[in-house]
C-alpha cells in the first residue's frame, strides 16, 4: 500500500503559516548551502505530490518558470516531473504538468489512491487537507523543518484533529543555521 507523508516548515511555536497566511518566513535563510543540498536530495521526483488549491496555485506559479529552473534546477525538475494530485472544489482544470484534479472528499480519495499501484505520496502545505487526512488516520509520516522563529499566531496544520494521535521520531537532522528536520511515524 502506498504511504502518505506530510512535509511542512513550521515555526518554533508550531505554525505552518503566520496569521496572514504568509509563508515567506519559512524561506528566509533557505539559500543556506546545507539546507539547499538537503532540499535537493528530497526533491528527486520519486513521490507523487498532493496539494490543496491554495498550495497548488502557489507552487504552479513558481516551479514551472525559468526563474525556478535557474535558482534550483534539480528541485524544479523534481517538482515538475512528479505526478501531482490537486484537491479543489473551485478549480475547473489544472495546467501544471502531471497534475490530476480531484473534487472528491480528500480522505475518500487518498484511501482509494493508497490502494492503487504507484509511488508514495507527499503532501506539501495544504493545512486543511493535512488536518482531514490526519483525522482519518491516513498520514503515515510527518516531516517537519522547524524554523527558529516565533510567529506568535498563525495556522496549525493539525487544527481540529481529535484523539491526540501519538507519533514516534524516526530520524532528525540539525542544520548549522538553526533549522531542525524531524521525521515522525504514526504509532496511534
Torsion (CA) 82, 85, 91, 97 in degrees, nearest 10? 20
Whether 143 and 47 have beta carbons less than 8 Å apart is answered as no
- Report how far residue 180's alpha carbon sits from residue 138's, in angstroms, rounded to the nearest whole number: 25
The domain spans of the chain are 4-186
User: How confident is residue 45, by pLDDT bands cut at 50, 70 and 90?
Assistant: low
Mean pLDDT across 53-73:
94
Quick: pLDDT tens for 87-145.
999 999 999 999 999 999 999 999 999 999 999 999 998 888 999 999 999 999 999 99
CATH class of residue range 4-186: alpha beta
Provide the pLDDT for residue 62: 95
Amino acid at each position: 500500500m502506498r504511504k502518505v507523508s506530510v512535509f511542512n516548515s513550521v515555526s518554533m511555536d508550531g505554525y505552518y503559516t503566520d496569521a496572514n497566511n504568509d509563508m515567506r518566513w519559512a524561506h528566509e535563510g533557505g539559500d543556506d548551502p546545507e539546507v539547499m543540498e538537503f532540499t535537493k536530495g528530497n526533491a528527486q521526483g520519486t513521490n507523487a505530490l498532493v496539494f490543496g488549491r491554495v498550495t497548488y496555485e502557489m507552487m504552479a506559479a513558481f516551479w514551472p518558470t525559468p526563474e525556478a529552473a535557474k535558482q534550483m534546477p534539480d528541485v524544479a525538475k523534481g517538482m515538475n516531473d512528479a505526478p501531482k494530485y490537486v484537491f479543489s472544489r473551485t478549480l475547473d482544470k489544472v495546467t501544471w504538468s502531471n497534475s490530476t484534479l480531484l473534487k472528491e472528499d480528500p480522505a475518500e480519495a487518498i484511501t482509494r489512491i493508497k490502494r492503487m499501484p504507484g509511488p508514495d505520496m507527499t503532501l506539501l502545505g495544504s493545512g486543511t487537507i493535512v488536518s482531514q487526512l490526519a483525522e482519518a488516520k491516513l498520514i503515515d509520516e510527518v516531516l517537519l523543518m522547524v524554523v527558529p522563529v516565533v510567529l506568535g499566531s498563525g495556522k496549525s496544520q493539525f487544527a481540529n484533529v481529535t484523539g491526540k494521535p501519538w507519533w514516534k521520531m524516526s530520524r532528525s537532522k540539525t542544520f548549522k543555521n538553526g533549522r531542525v528536520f524531524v521525521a515522525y511515524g504514526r504509532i496511534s
